[in-house]
């Protein structure tokens, strides 16, 4: 009889595991892929971890770009294509007509913040509110009024003087003025970007005096292979070729690990612009070639909540600009998402090895408890962290020592109860 019970128990567990794995899908097959930035990194590539290459196009088509959100002050420069911005140090906007560049070699160049799309080059001198670097915020009209002059070096090496006059925030219109340094070829532009909200930025060429649409739809891509200005530990800016992330994407890097590593539940998700960045490769000064770091694994989480494992396998450098990599999907089993009564729960990883992470969003002040139980309802873990705070609340449950198998995580927030199946494995 005991033997029969054991057999039935093992069979029941096998059935549960089969059902759970069939409905959630632990890991999809590995997809080997590649992109080409062309010789000299002439192109950039927008890429979806689910769908592959979304858009390939020339990198050097625009000089400045305006963020399309009404509540944004971000203006980028195309620093990866050689655009350099300087704040004019000799006068405020009253010095437009008499601007000169004597001593420009001593002026501090400004580049986009490598970690934050919102902190474009024009904002790098920002002070505390209401100073946004290039403008002062008007708390009554919500407009941004330009209070600085700039000198900008364009992609072709020529210079322009530039005044970002105003952002009409409610209309999403930027008004700006630029000209040759001697005042010739002057333009005053009112750039209406109110209808461009499907992309993050709208570009503009100061060489051709035209708008440049350089991005695909925001929701279509996850990462961007491109050139951009990074910063050395001592603060010195330098040009790199690497990967920037969509504003909705976060990632984790594990190093040094075996390339078979799967426990992405450790650590915190990094949502900065260059969380993947450029240092997945190193330059061999002896043989004059690039090598990818062979003990580095990235896990990437788009806004969909799916988890992807990303491993770089080859990098050709400027000869062809080709990058090779493997993508493996950990969706479904990777994250369990539940939404009920204005409470959102994301539980991952699933399967779990040593810990289960719970990201919870709900009404601030509500009491929170969560439990781990087995299939018989026996409670194995419990935590009562107290009240939720506003925004995202991140918790972790240690499951070290729990035997591999199928379990339930129950989350109680006020009168809301949510239950999710999880697998613990070794």
What's the pLDDT tens digit per position in 261-301? 887 777 888 999 999 999 999 999 898 899 999 999 999 98
Residue 203 contacts residue 213 (beta carbons within 8 Å):
yes
Residue 333 has pLDDT above 60, yes or no: no
Least confident of 3-17, 237-251, 331-345: 3-17
For the stretch 98-136, pLDDT in tens is: 999 999 999 999 999 999 999 999 999 998 889 999 999
Average pLDDT over residues 396-409: 91
Domain boundary among 284, 310, 329: 329
Q: Are residues 70 and 208 in the same domain?
A: yes
State how far the Cα of 357 lies from the Cα of 395, in Å rounded to an integer: 6
Q: Does residue 94 share a domain with residue 43? A: no
Contacts from 185-191 at CB under 8 Å and sequence distance 24+?
191/66
Is it the case that residue 169 has pLDDT exceeding 50?
yes
pLDDT at residue number 244: 98
When pLDDT is cut at 50, 70 and 90, the band that residue 176 belongs to is very high
Mean pLDDT along residues 396-404: 91
pLDDT-based confidence at 9, cuts 50/70/90? very low
Identify the top-confidence range among 95-99, 126-130, 344-348. 95-99
Last residue of some domain: 311, 329, 347? 329
User: Is 114 in the same domain as 239?
Assistant: no
Same domain as 205, residue 288: no
pLDDT of residue 340: 81
Same domain, residue pair 84 and 177 = yes
Give the Cα separation of 329 and 8 in Å (integer): 33
Please check whether residue 309 is in contact with residue 325, taking contact to mean a CB–CB distance below 8 angstroms: no
**What are the residues facing 3 on neighbouring strands?**
none
Domain boundary among 186, 212, 238: 212
> What percent helix, strand, coil does the chain show, rounded to 5?
10, 45, 45
Same domain, 293 and 382: no
335 — pLDDT class (breaks 50, 70, 90) = low
pLDDT tens digits, residue range 361-381?
888 899 999 999 998 889 999
CATH number assigned to the domain comprising residue 364? 2.60.40.1930
Nearest alpha-carbon partner for 295 in 306, 282, 308, 305 = 282
Tally of residues, the chain: 426
Sign of CA dihedral 266, 267, 271, 273: negative
320 and 339: one domain? no
Give the span between the Cα atoms of 3 and 224, in whole angstroms: 57
Q: Output the pLDDT for position 362.
A: 85
SS3 category, 207: coil
Q: How many CB atoms lie within 10 A of CB 331?
A: 20
Measured from the Cβ of residue 397, the count of other Cβ atoms closer than 10 Å reads 21
Contacts (Cβ under 8 Å, ≥6 apart) of 253: 270, 275, 276, 296, 297, 298
The pLDDT mean for the chain works out to 89
Is residue 1 predicted with pLDDT exceeding 60?
no
Residue in this structure with the two tokens 């949502």, named with its chain if needed = 271
Three-state SS at 145? strand
Q: Are residues 185 and 248 in the same domain?
A: no
pTM of the model: 0.75
Domain count, the chain: 3
Q: Are residues 99 and 163 located together in one domain of the fold?
A: yes
* Same-domain check for residues 36 and 175: no
The answer to whether residues 263 and 247 touch, using CB atoms and an 8 Å cutoff, is: no
Instruction: Please enumerate, as own/partner, the contacts of 154-161 that have beta carbons within 8 Å and a separation of 24 or more.
Output: 154/63, 154/82, 154/83, 154/206, 154/207, 155/60, 155/63, 155/78, 155/81, 155/82, 155/83, 155/207, 156/207, 157/82, 158/207, 159/101, 160/206, 161/88, 161/96, 161/99
Q: In sequence order, which residues have a C-beta less than 8 Å from that of residue 47 and are 6 or more positions away?
A: 35, 53, 54, 221, 222, 223, 224, 225
Same domain (yes/no): 77, 208: yes
Domain that holds residue 135: 64-212
Reported as a single tens digit per residue, the pLDDT across 180-214 is 999 999 999 999 999 998 999 999 999 999 999 99
Average pLDDT over residues 166-180: 96
Looking at residue 354, its pLDDT comes to 85
Query: What percentage of the chain carries pLDDT values higher than 70?
Result: 92
Distances from the Cα of 273 to the Cα of 230, 248, 381, angstroms: 11, 10, 37
Of 332, 359, 331, 357, nearest in space to 345 by CA: 359
Q: Which residues of 341-367 are buried (b: 16+ CB within 10 A; e: fewer)?
A: eebebbbbbbbbbbebbbbbebeeebe
Is the pLDDT at 7 greater than 70? The verdict is no
Both 82 and 184 in one domain: the answer is yes
Look at residue 24 and tell me if it is in a domain.
Answer: no
The Cα–Cα gap between 344 and 356 comes to 16
Q: Quick check: 163 and 183 in contact, CB under 8 A? A: no
In this structure, the number of other CB atoms found within 10 A of the CB of residue 303 comes to: 13
The answer as to whether 343 is a domain residue is yes
Examine the pLDDT at 359 and tell me if it is beyond 90: no
Across the range 57-72, mean pLDDT stands at 95
Give percent of the chain with pLDDT exceeding 90. 68
Q: What pLDDT does residue 207 have?
A: 96
């Amino acid at each position: 009889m005991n033997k029969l019970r054991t057999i039935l128990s093992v069979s029941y567990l096998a059935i549960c595991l089969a059902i759970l794995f069939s409905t959630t899908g632990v890991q999809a097959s590995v997809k080997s892929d590649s992109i080409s930035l062309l010789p000299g990194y002439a192109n950039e590539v927008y890429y979806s971890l689910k769908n592959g290459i979304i858009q390939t196009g020339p990198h050097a088509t625009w000089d400045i770009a305006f963020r399309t959100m009404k509540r944004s002050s971000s203006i980028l420069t195309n620093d990866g294509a050689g655009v350099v911005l300087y704040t004019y140090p000799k006068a405020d906007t009253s010095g437009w007509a008499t601007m000169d560049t004597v001593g420009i070699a001593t002026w501090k160049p400004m580049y986009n913040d490598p970690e934050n799309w919102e902190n474009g080059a024009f904002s790098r001198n920002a002070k505390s509110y209401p100073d946004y670097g290039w403008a002062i915020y008007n708390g009554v009209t919500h407009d941004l009024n330009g209070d600085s002059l700039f000198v900008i070096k364009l992609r072709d090496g020529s210079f322009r003087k530039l005044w970002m006059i105003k952002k009409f925030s409610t209309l999403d219109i930027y008004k700006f003025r630029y000209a040759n340094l001697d005042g010739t070829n002057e333009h005053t532009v009112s750039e209406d970007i109110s209808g461009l909200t499907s992309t993050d930025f709208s570009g503009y060429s100061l060489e051709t005096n035209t708008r440049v649409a350089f991005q695909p739809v925001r929701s279509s891509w996850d990462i961007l292979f491109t050139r951009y200005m990074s910063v050395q530990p001592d603060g010195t800016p330098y040009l790199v070729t690497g990967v920037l992330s969509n504003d909705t994407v976060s990632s984790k890097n594990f190093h040094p690990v075996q390339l078979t590593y799967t426990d992405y539940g450790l650590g915190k998700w990094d949502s900065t612009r260059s969380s993947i960045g450029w240092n997945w490769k190193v330059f061999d000064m002896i043989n004059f070639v690039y090598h990818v770091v062979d003990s580095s694994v990235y896990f990437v989480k788009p806004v969909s909540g799916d988890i992807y494992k990303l491993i770089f396998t080859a990098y050709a450098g400027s000869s062809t600009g080709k990058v090779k990599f493997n993508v493996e999907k950990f969706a479904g089993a990777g994250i369990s998402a539940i939404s009920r009564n204005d409470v959102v729960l994301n539980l991952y990883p699933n399967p779990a090895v040593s810990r289960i992470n719970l990201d919870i969003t709900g009404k601030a002040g509500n009491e929170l408890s969560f439990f781990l139980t087995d299939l018989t309802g026996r409670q194995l873990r419990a935590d009562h962290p107290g009240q939720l705070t506003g925004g995202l609340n991140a918790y972790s449950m240690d499951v070290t020592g729990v035997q591999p198998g199928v379990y339930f995580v129950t989350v109680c927030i006020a009168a809301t109860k949510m239950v999710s199946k999880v697998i613990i494995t070794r």
